[in-house]
Each structure stands twice: as structure tokens, then as C-alpha cells.
């Protein structure tokens, strides 16, 4: 009895797992919230928890994402764009864009406000557009490309 308790047969283990799984499923029941809670704070002192299946295991993970501290470079209205645009994304998203017209930038800023609900007041938009337009204005006008597109006449 003692031996079998300490060293259950694979079949007994599998049965136990099945029962346990059923209990877990029943106990949890259907999720009522849109997002089931899935994160628990792991104790830093203990080894990371894990779950295992045949030939596979998953170990809990905790990481630090690097902070991005690169602001929009100095220039007229830099303070406005830094205050309004960097809580959702790095400045580099805008800084790496190709040369865009003021109207194209306006469409992007409006998309951020209307679609992504960025809390950017309408009063800040002209200053933001001034900054982005000046930034784009420093970029060279798009040149020709060495790709096959040149030889095939463009649009295709």
C-alpha cells in the first residue's frame, strides 16, 4: 500500500490527472469576464512554477522590457509632441517614417485620436503637425530605387 502510494503506476497517474483536470474544469466553469485572469505575481524567492506534459514543460517567465527614453529631438513644439505622443509609442515610430506631407501626418494624428483614442486635445494638434511637418521637411525627396521596379515602369 505504502509503496503503491509513493510510486503510483503510470495508469493510476493518468487517471489522477484526468480526475484532477475534470475537477479543475468544473471548478473554474465558464469564464464570465472578457479576459480571464491569467497573471499571478511570482514570489522572487521561489523557483519559477512550471507545468508539464509528456516530453514538454512550460516554466513561468518574468522579464523586464527596456525603457525607451529617446524623446523627439529639440525643435519648435518638441515639448508638445513629447507630452502627447510618447505614452503609447516610442518617438522612433514617427522618427523612422518616410517623408510625409502635412495632410498625411494630419490623417495619422487623427487616426491616433479617433481610432486609438489617444488623449490628445484638439488644441495640441496644430503644434504636433508643425513639428512633424518640419521633421519630414528635412528628409530628402524619395529617390529612385535600384530594384526591378525601375525597369518595369512603376505601378504594375
Partner 1 sequence: MGSGALLAAPALGQGLVDLALPGGPSSRPTTSSFPEKGEMILQRARPPLLETPMEVFDQGVFTPNDRFFVRWHWADIPTSIDVQGYRIAVRGHVNRPLAIPLAELLRMPRVELAAVNQCSGNSRGLFQPCVAGAQWRHGAMGNAKWVGVRLRHVLDLAGVKPGAIAVRFGALDQPVVPTGPDFTKSISLDHARDGEVMIAFEMNGEQMPLLNGFPVRLIVPGWYSTYWVKMLNDIEVLDRPDDGYWMAKAYKIPDTPHANVAPGTKDFPSVPINRMVPRSWITGWSDEQTFSYAPELPVGGIAMGGDAGVARVEISGDLGRTWHEASLGSDEGRYSFRRFDMTLRVPHAGRYTLLSRCTNTNGLTQPMTPNWNPGGFMRGCVEASRVRLT
- From the list 47, 58, 130, 135, the residue with the least C-alpha distance to 95 is 135
Shortest Cβ distance from residue 91 to partner 1 (Å)? 9
CA atoms within 13 A on the CB side of 121: 4
- Binding-site member from 31, 46, 47, 122 for partner 1 (CB under 8 A): 31
How many residues touch partner 1 under the rule CB under 8 A: the total is 75
Comparing CB distances to partner 1, the nearer of 1 and 122 is 122
Q: Of 79-138, which residues contact partner 1 (CB under 8 A)?
A: 87-90, 92-93, 95-100, 104, 108, 115-119, 135, 138
Q: Which of residues 54-83 bind partner 1 (CB under 8 A)?
A: 54, 56-70, 73
Which residue in the block uniquely carries the three cell numbers 515602369?
153
Q: How far is the CB of 126 from partner 1 (least distance, A)?
A: 20
User: Can you tell me which residue has the cell 524623446?
Assistant: 71
Whichever of 3 and 41 has its CB closer to partner 1, that residue is 41
Instruction: Please choose, from the candidates 90, 20, 76, the residue with its C-alpha nearest in 3D space to the C-alpha of residue 51.
Output: 20
Nearer to partner 1, 9 or 41 (CB): 41
Q: In the bound complex, what is the minimum distance in angstroms from residue 58's beta carbon to partner 1?
A: 5
Helix (H, G, I), strand (E, B) or coil at 75: coil
Q: Tally Cβ neighbours within 10 Å of residue 118.
A: 16
69 contacts 89 by C-beta, under 8 angstroms:
no
Amino acid at each position: 500500500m505504502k509503496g503503491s502510494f509513493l510510486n503510483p503506476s503510470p495508469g493510476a497517474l493518468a487517471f489522477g490527472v484526468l480526475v484532477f483536470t475534470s475537477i479543475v474544469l468544473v471548478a473554474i466553469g465558464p469564464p464570465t469576464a472578457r479576459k480571464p485572469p491569467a497573471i499571478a505575481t511570482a514570489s522572487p524567492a521561489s523557483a519559477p512554477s512550471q507545468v508539464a506534459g509528456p516530453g514538454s514543460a512550460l516554466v513561468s517567465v518574468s522579464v523586464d522590457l527596456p525603457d525607451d527614453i529617446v524623446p523627439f529631438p529639440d525643435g519648435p513644439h518638441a515639448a508638445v509632441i513629447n507630452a502627447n505622443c510618447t505614452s503609447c509609442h516610442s518617438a522612433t515610430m514617427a522618427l523612422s517614417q518616410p517623408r510625409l506631407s502635412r495632410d498625411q501626418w494630419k490623417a495619422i494624428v487623427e487616426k491616433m485620436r479617433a481610432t486609438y483614442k489617444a488623449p490628445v486635445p484638439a488644441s495640441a494638434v496644430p503644434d504636433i503637425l508643425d513639428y512633424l511637418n518640419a521633421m519630414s521637411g528635412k528628409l530628402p525627396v524619395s529617390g529612385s530605387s535600384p530594384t526591378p521596379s525601375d525597369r518595369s515602369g512603376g505601378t504594375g
